[in-house]
């Protein structure tokens, strides 16, 4: 039988003497006084320490290293900080092969985990080991591949391995659900979980339920999330009694579905908790427009002795942003180092967003230019939105051009600058931006809206005609528009751009935005006494915001829309954001 190409590539490394192999990694001596296996297994230890210790074990032969020695060694490398290089992993692989240790599943699994921990560069090597391992594979090996591919963002590969598994455990299904969540396929995550419950009838554990709650949070699928909550209470395991990971996921899910009373009940019922739980509740309050309550909870957190971390200050600064509290935001930013937290890029971005939304766009631009690290495109993008909000063409032009340089393939960057030029009558500049976008083939992100009803999550795109109730949805939207015109509603088409030169065409485009289709579906199907909950992947446009306020009054409905930035709760013609978003 011909040798596996992957193993042939290791032949030069197999000739490496053990001492030279260790020298390849480092000559640093191991820590004294540690039992060998325990020392190898230490998580987060430097690569050099693990390999130097392995060199001492080899130098002490006979006896040779055991398979368990290699298992500990490979596991230590996978969890080392910083991670090893791919070349270092291949040397460890060669040494394990040389000693015959790869015949043991525990060593093969550790090697798979090591390669997969290196991200995409290690995936091909992991697949080579997996495909050539034969009898050295067990269910853990298959689970490791699914989980590793999921963490690396390769859902297709994770799905392919999962579908070929000879047998599946609860861990297998949990790894597949988690892979879907990590890759942003939240609907598929719920489908996989439903399939698990239907086919295997496993009793879900905390790990898979946390993933399910994350999927519910992103989709706004509150009824599915409530099912998980009821399941936890009925089964009486972990659940809301002492499992902070689940409690935090429940709080986060309820907050992201706009169910703040239920989030509060879970939060208040937690015994103990940690800073991650507090961050989830503070962030939920901020996103839902309860800025003062979020800041009050932050102060209560400090009084109770919890030490804030980097994430805490991000959600607290967001609370200031959503309520326009510029002075308080500056004070909180300045207090970070007093709490032992050094401001990072995200914190500067939050402060710049706070300044920009409040109209201080020049100060926000100066902050981003002067910060000690390079701003992300997303932070410049937030400032660009503020320039559009306040119609600041001077700062907006500079920021818009910078964004196009940073992300030339993102059509949304061209769109905002085009709008700003168009609103200010600079049509030649607007046409140049449109031409540049077309020449580069840049595409704008598709707007999606999701609404849950009767156990299903319905997805809509602008102008969608795929839904079974399409005729009824469009008929209702036309009726709504006729009724709104009678009370003086006029479309705001200033944010509809590109090839729409005719005002009537622009109006038609706005009329069928994805959130309007979802809203019409909600009015048709969801009972009057229940809120209509919509999740949108982009920022709500100005006209749809006005439209939702008027519809909430016209139909006496509570409409809850979560867009990319925050929640909008529409009741009786008023939005919880006070038109500040």
What is the domain-level CATH number for residue 359?
1.25.40.10
Cα separation, 353 vs 334, whole angstroms: 16
Is 82 strand, coil or helix?
coil
Question: Tens digits of per-residue pLDDT, 535-577?
Answer: 998 888 888 899 999 999 999 999 999 888 778 889 999 888 7
Quick one: 463 and 501 in the same domain? yes
Least confident of 162-171, 197-206, 324-333: 197-206
- Give the pair of three-digit tokens for residue 226: 């409530």
Cα separation, 457 vs 220, whole angstroms: 9
How many domains are contained in the chain?
3
Among 382, 413, 445, give the residue marking a domain's end.
445
What is the arithmetic mean of pLDDT over 460-484? Answer: 92
- Give the pair of three-digit tokens for residue 64: 């040779």
Report DSSP state, residue 269.
T
Percent of the chain with pLDDT over 90: 49
Quick one: 462 and 416 in the same domain? no
Kind of pairing, strands 574-575 and 532-536?
Answer: unpaired
Quick one: 406 and 471 in the same domain? no
pTM, full prediction:
0.77
Quick one: 453 and 408 in the same domain? no
Quick one: 33 and 95 in the same domain? yes
User: In angstroms, what CA-CA distances link 63 with 38, 106, 294, 533?
Assistant: 19, 20, 62, 66
Quick one: 395 and 437 in the same domain? yes
- Measured in whole angstroms, the distance separating CA 5 from the mean position of its chain's CA atoms is 37
Judge whether 112 lies within some domain.
yes
Question: Tens digits of per-residue pLDDT, 220-276?
Answer: 889 999 999 999 888 765 444 458 889 999 999 999 988 999 999 999 988 778 999
- Closest-CA residue to 154 (of 200, 191, 123): 123
Judge whether 408 lies within some domain.
yes
Judge whether 395 lies within some domain.
yes
Quick one: 3 and 123 in the same domain? yes
pLDDT-derived band at 7, boundaries 50, 70, 90: very low
pLDDT-derived band at 510, boundaries 50, 70, 90: low
Quick one: 415 and 378 in the same domain? yes
pLDDT-derived band at 415, boundaries 50, 70, 90: confident
Question: Tens digits of per-residue pLDDT, 49-70?
Answer: 555 555 555 555 555 666 767 7
| Helix spans in 392-465 (H) | 393-406, 411-423, 427-440
Quick one: 100 and 15 in the same domain? yes
What is the arithmetic mean of pLDDT over 103-116? Answer: 84
Judge whether 421 lies within some domain.
yes
Strands (E), 278-433: none
Quick one: 458 and 437 in the same domain? no
Chain mean pLDDT for the chain:
83
Model pLDDT, residue 581: 65
Judge whether 203 lies within some domain.
no
- Closest-CA residue to 551 (of 522, 581, 572, 531): 572
Cα separation, 558 vs 256, whole angstroms: 16
Whole domain around residue 405: which residue ranges?
A: 344-445
Write out the DSSP string of 46-63. -HHHHHHHHHHHHHTPSS
């Amino acid at each position: 039988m011909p040798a596996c190409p992957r193993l042939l590539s290791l032949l030069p490394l197999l000739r490496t003497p053990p001492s030279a192999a260790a020298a390849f990694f480092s000559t640093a001596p191991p820590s004294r006084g540690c039992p060998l296996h325990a020392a190898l297994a230490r998580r987060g230890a430097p690569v050099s320490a693990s390999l130097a210790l392995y060199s001492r074990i080899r130098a002490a032969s006979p006896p040779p290293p055991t398979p368990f020695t290699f298992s500990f060694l490979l596991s230590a490398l996978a969890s080392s900080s910083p991670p090893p290089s791919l070349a270092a992993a291949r040397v460890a692989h060669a040494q394990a092969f040389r000693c015959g240790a790869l015949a043991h599943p525990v060593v093969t699994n550790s090697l798979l985990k090591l390669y997969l921990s290196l991200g995409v560069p290690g995936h091909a090597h992991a697949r080579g080991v997996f495909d050539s391992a034969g009898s050295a594979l067990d269910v853990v090996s298959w689970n490791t591949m699914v989980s590793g591919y999921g963490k690396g963002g390769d859902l297709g590969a994770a799905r392919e391995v999962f579908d070929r598994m000879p047998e599946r455990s609860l861990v297998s299904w949990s790894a597949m659900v988690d892979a879907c969540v990590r890759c942003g396929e939240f609907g598929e995550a719920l489908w996989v979980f439903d399939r698990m419950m239907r086919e295997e009838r496993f009793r879900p554990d905390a790990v898979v339920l946390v993933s399910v709650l994350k999927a519910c949070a992103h989709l706004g699928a509150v009824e599915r999330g409530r099912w998980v909550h009821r399941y936890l209470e009925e089964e009486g395991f972990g659940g809301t009694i002492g499992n902070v990971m689940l409690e935090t996921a429940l709080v986060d899910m309820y907050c992201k579905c706009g169910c703040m009373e239920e989030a509060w009940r879970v939060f208040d019922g937690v015994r103990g908790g940690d800073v991650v739980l507090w961050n989830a509740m503070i962030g939920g309050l901020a996103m839902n427009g309860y800025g003062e309550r979020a800041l009050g909870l932050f102060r209560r957190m400090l009084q109770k002795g919890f030490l804030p971390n980097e994430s805490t200050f991000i959600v607290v600064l967001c609370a200031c942003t959503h309520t326009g509290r510029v002075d308080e935001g500056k004070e909180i930013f300045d207090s970070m180092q007093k709490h032992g937290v050094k401001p990072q890029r995200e914190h500067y971005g939050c402060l710049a967003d706070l300044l920009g939304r409040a109209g201080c766009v020049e100060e926000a631009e100066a902050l981003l230019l002067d910060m000690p690290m390079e701003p992300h495109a997303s932070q410049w993008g937030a400032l660009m939105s503020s320039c559009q909000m306040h119609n600041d063409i001077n700062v907006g032009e500079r920021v818009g051009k910078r964004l196009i340089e940073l992300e030339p393939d993102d059509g949304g960057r061209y769109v905002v600058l085009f709008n700003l030029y168009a609103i200010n009558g600079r049509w030649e500049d607007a046409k140049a931006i449109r031409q540049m976008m077309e020449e580069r083939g840049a595409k704008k992100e598709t707007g999606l809206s999701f609404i849950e009803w009767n156990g299903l999550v319905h997805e809509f795109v602008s102008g969608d005609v795929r839904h079974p109730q399409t005729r009824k949805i469009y008929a209702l939207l036309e009726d709504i528009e006729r009724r709104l015109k009678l009370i003086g509603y006029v479309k705001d088409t200033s944010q509809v751009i590109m090839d729409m030169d005719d005002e009537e065409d622009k109006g038609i485009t706005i009329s069928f935005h994805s959130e309007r289709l979802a809203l019409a579906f909600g009015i048709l199907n969801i009972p009057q006494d229940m809120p209509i909950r919509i999740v949108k992947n982009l920022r709500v446009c100005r006209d749809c915001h006005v439209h939702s306020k008027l519809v909430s009054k016209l139909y006496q409905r509570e409409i809850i829309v979560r867009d990319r930035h925050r929640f909008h709760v529409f009741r009786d013609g008023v939005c919880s954001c006070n038109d500040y978003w």
